[in-house]
């Protein structure tokens, strides 16, 4: 990254970070004892884990100037498939269950990518919107529209990922959530992937200018198919976490997952126009959303108020994105002459 843009990027990352700190401070003042408690802090990390994983897949889609609207249904489908395998087929081997969940979601992602590239769709909005409904329908069909519980079914080792914590910070069992540990590992791998590998850089290039990429010998279609498969894979991973986190599989659990993931990415510096976004920005974006939700919960704000506030935050983030693009276009114009 060049100097000027690095400084700009830093400022931009810092704005989100500052916003996070300010929000943190606000909640610390309003509900100090509840919010600042270490158990609550660990709880926030646990709560954002699923959004973090889904958002990481969403990020690569956004970098290619695309979008994946099926992520919510897709991760729920993974959890539901695991539930069905446990309940109807009595499978309890955690490896088999995890692979099944991740497998079905990756396949769904691969179908998303294939639809986009083989049908020459102008934008993945329609294909992933269609898949969102298809996947939700499949989840409802295989579960018979019923919630499947995982408690006392002999799958505790699988639930470990979404539920358990390591250590005991306050003497009352507040430990570091395993799920967020998984997020940290995955995000570190994403960081290396996006910045150090040829495929990672090609994803940015395809997002920045697909035609120039194609004419430079980058197989744009294959890159895009990979991107949506990766997004599906991350949904599968999130689905595995869901098993332990909710202790149940419910086809309707994923309603807000799509928008939460998009919001996390955009707040974190990704853009609908593609070519931009970092994995750490996405994490900060997800944390910001998590802190808002958690704080509002502690203030006993009702669900409806939470929806309104989260909605406003998303609009604000998009407005900032538009403003940022305009400013960059301006800078580009003055430099291009």
Looking at residue 1, the DSSP 8-state letter turns out to be -
Give how many residues touch another protein by CB under 8 A: 32
Strand partners, 166: 176
Q: By CB under 8 A, is residue 114 in contact with another protein? A: no
Which of 133, 216, 252, 330 is the binder for another protein (CB under 8 A)?
216
Q: By CB under 8 A, is residue 219 in contact with another protein? A: yes
Contacts of 308 (CB under 8 A, 6+ apart): none
Q: By CB under 8 A, is residue 196 in contact with another protein? A: yes
Site string for another protein, 5-34 (x = CB under 8 A): xx----------------------------
Alpha-carbon torsion 187, 188, 194, 199, what sign?
negative
Q: By CB under 8 A, is residue 217 in contact with another protein? A: yes
Site string for another protein, 252-281 (x = CB under 8 A): -----------------------xx-----
Q: By CB under 8 A, is residue 215 in contact with another protein? A: yes
Contact criterion met (CB below 8 Å) for 71 and 129: no
- With CB under 8 A as the contact rule, which of the stretches 89-97, 199-207, 233-241, 258-266 interacts with another protein? 199-207
Q: Which residue in 320, 312, 331, 198 sits closest to 266, CA to CA?
A: 320
- With CB under 8 A as the contact rule, which of the stretches 89-97, 129-137, 147-155, 193-201 interacts with another protein? 193-201
- With CB under 8 A as the contact rule, which of the stretches 67-75, 130-138, 146-154, 200-208 interacts with another protein? 200-208
Which of 209, 256, 259, 306 is the binder for another protein (CB under 8 A)?
209
| Alpha carbons 316 and 318: distance in angstroms, whole number | 6
| Alpha carbons 165 and 173: distance in angstroms, whole number | 8
Q: At closest approach, how far in Å is the CB of 109 from another protein? A: 20
| Alpha carbons 172 and 238: distance in angstroms, whole number | 27
Q: At closest approach, how far in Å is the CB of 197 from another protein? A: 5
Strand partners, 165: 177
Contact criterion met (CB below 8 Å) for 68 and 124: yes
Q: By CB under 8 A, is residue 330 in contact with another protein? A: no
Q: Which residue in 119, 124, 77 sits closest to 251, CA to CA?
A: 77
Report the chain's terminal Cα–Cα distance, integer Å: 23
Q: By CB under 8 A, is residue 245 in contact with another protein? A: no
Query: Given the rule CB under 8 A, which residues bind another protein?
Result: 1-6, 196-199, 201-202, 204-205, 208-209, 211-219, 275-276, 331-332, 335-337
């Amino acid at each position: 990254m060049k100097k000027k843009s690095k400084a700009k990027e830093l400022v931009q990352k810092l704005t989100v970070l500052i916003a996070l700190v300010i929000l943190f401070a606000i909640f610390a003042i309003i509900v100090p004892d509840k919010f600042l408690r270490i158990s609550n802090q660990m709880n926030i990390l646990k709560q954002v884990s699923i959004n973090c994983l889904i958002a990481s897949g969403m990020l690569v889609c956004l970098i290619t100037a695309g979008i994946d609207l099926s992520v919510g249904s897709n991760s729920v489908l993974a959890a539901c498939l695991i539930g069905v395998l446990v309940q109807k087929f009595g499978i309890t081997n955690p490896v088999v269950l995890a692979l099944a969940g991740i497998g079905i979601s990756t396949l769904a992602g691969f179908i998303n990518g294939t639809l986009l590239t083989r049908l020459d769709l102008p934008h993945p909005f329609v294909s992933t919107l269609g898949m969102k409904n298809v996947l939700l329908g499949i989840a409802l069909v295989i579960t018979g529209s019923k919630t499947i519980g995982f408690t006392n079914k002999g799958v505790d080792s699988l639930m470990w990922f979404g539920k358990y914590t390591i250590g005991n910070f306050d003497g009352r069992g507040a430990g570091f959530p395993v799920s967020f540990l998984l997020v940290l590992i995955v995000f570190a791998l994403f960081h290396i992937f996006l910045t150090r590998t040829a495929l990672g850089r090609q994803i940015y290039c395809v997002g920045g200018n697909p035609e120039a990429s194609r004419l430079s010998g980058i197989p744009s279609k294959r890159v895009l198919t990979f991107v949506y498969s990766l997004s599906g894979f991350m949904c599968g991973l999130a689905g595995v976490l869901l098993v332990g986190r909710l202790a149940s599989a419910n086809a309707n659990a994923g309603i807000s997952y799509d928008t939460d993931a998009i919001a996390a990415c955009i707040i974190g510096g990704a853009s609908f126009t593609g070519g931009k976004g970092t994995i750490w920005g996405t994490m900060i974006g997800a944390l910001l959303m998590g802190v808002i939700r958690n704080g509002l919960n502690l203030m006993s704000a009702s669900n409806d108020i939470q929806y309104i506030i989260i909605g406003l935050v998303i609009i604000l983030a998009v407005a900032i994105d538009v403003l940022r693009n305009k400013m960059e276009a301006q800078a580009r114009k003055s430099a291009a002459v």
